[in-house]
Amino acid sequence: MAQTSNDIKNGSVINLDGKLWTVIKFQHVKPGKGPAFVRTTIKDVLSGKIVDRTFNAGMKMEFETVDNRTMQFSYRDGDAFVFMDMNTYDQVNIPASLVGDQENYLLEGTDCIISFHDGNPLSVELPASVVLTVTETEPGVQGNRSNAGTKPATVETGAEIQVPLFVGQGEKVKVDTRDGSYLGREN
């Protein structure tokens, strides 16, 4: 059965001009005058670029099946990151180019969502935040408050983030994996 733009739903993956796009939002529009159409916000699966596209109602489309699996990061092997499927214990090598800057927040044992299409990995999604230990920073100064400024700190993955002045070496901090911002201390 052929699929059309009328079958679009949130989370659908469509193939447009050889690229895979995930539907983030959609709206079927039936204006009083003129033909119906589908207004969408779609995200390029590989690059993460988000665009708005409009499709005529009933337009033939190619839908793809993407398999999202929760996998645990095991270790780095040269130019690849090795992840393990905790259900089957299969190990998969993911190219460093797919992990990108997220490697700054990737610790052994971190559960990530990896998207596959036809057995090929498409993307790696880390949890929204991770807890990392500060390995190097200037000593905290007594009396400094959270709004008094920030200082650079190196965390256990080697990434450098900005933390409040009161955070000291050896402390655990919660870090946003999308932008590397400090979210708070952890016990």
47, 7: one domain: yes
Residues 50 and 35 in one domain: yes
| Final residue in a domain of this structure, among 43, 64, 85 | 64
Give the residue from 97, 125, 153 where a domain finishes.
125
Is residue 93 domain-shared with residue 49, that is, in the same domain? Answer: no
Are 9 and 54 contained in the same domain? yes
Secondary structure (DSSP) of 75-113:
EEETTEEEEEETTT--EEEEEHHHHGGGGGG--TT-EEE
Is 2 a residue whose pLDDT tops 70? no
How many domains are contained in the chain?
A: 3
**Co-location of 104 and 140 in the same domain:** no
Does 112 share its domain with 76?
yes
Q: Are residues 58 and 79 in the same domain?
A: no
Residue 37 in 3-state DSSP? Answer: strand
Cβ atoms < 10 Å from Cβ of 123: 24
Q: Are residues 52 and 88 in the same domain?
A: no
Q: Which tens digit of pLDDT belongs to each residue from 54-73?
A: 999 889 998 888 888 899 99
Pairing mode of beta strands 160-164, 67-77: unpaired
**Which domain CATH number covers 149?**
2.40.50.140
User: Of 11, 35, 64, which residue sits at a domain end?
Assistant: 64
- Considering the domain architecture, whether residues 152 and 114 belong to the same structural domain is answered as no
Which among 127, 132, 126 has a CA at the least distance from the CA of 161?
Answer: 132
Q: pTM for the full model?
A: 0.69
- Whether residues 144 and 100 share a domain: the answer is no
Indicate if 117 and 141 belong to the same structural domain: no
Q: Quote the pLDDT of residue 187.
A: 77
> Cα separation of 90 and 28, whole Å?
41
Domain harbouring 12, CATH code? 2.30.30.30
User: 86 CB contacts (<8 Å, ≥6 apart)?
Assistant: 70, 71, 72, 111
Q: Which long-range contacts (CB under 8 A, 24 or more apart) does 149-158 make?
A: 150/182, 156/107, 156/132, 157/103, 157/104, 157/105, 157/106, 157/107, 157/132, 158/104
Q: What are 29-56's pLDDT values in tens digits?
A: 999 999 999 999 998 877 778 899 999 9
State the Cα torsion 171-176-179-180 to the nearest 10°. Answer: 10
For the cut 70, the answer to whether the pLDDT of residue 100 exceeds it is yes
Q: Give start and end residues of each alpha helix (H) in the chain.
A: 96-99
The whole domain housing 83 covers 67-125
Whole-number percent of the chain with pLDDT over 90: 29
Residues 121 and 134 in one domain: no
